[in-house]
Amino acid sequence: MDPIGAIFASIVDVISNPISQRFADVTGTQIQSVLVEHQGIQVPYSYQLWKIQPKSVCHSYGNNVEDFSRCTVAAKSMFTEAC
């Protein structure tokens, strides 16, 4: 990226993202939700202060036991590989 483009991108980023959101992202004070694909399965979870919220893992599959089971197996594999 050229220097002018980089400066313009930085200005747009500063305008579009409030400082309080940047602070929350850096400090981890707010719960963040993530959806990651692992082994072909969408694995949703939330974290705060760099700790995973256990009840949030695969919560969207709660009504379907078969999909929830696949998701938890994929989540376990994903977290094991990451750690």
Q: How far is CA 80 from CA 5, 11, 30, 60, in A?
A: 40, 39, 24, 21
pLDDT, residue 49, reads 83
In the chain, the largest separation of any two C-alpha atoms, in whole Å, equals 52
Is this structure's pTM higher than 0.75? no
pLDDT, residue 69, reads 96
pLDDT, residue 22, reads 64
Answer for the pair 30, 37: CB distance below 8 angstroms, yes or no.
Answer: no
pLDDT, residue 73, reads 96
pLDDT greater than 90 at residue 28 = no
Quick: pLDDT tens for 30-83.
888 999 999 999 999 999 888 999 999 999 998 999 999 999 999 999 999 987
| Token digits of residue 23 | 């602070």
pLDDT greater than 70 at residue 11 = no
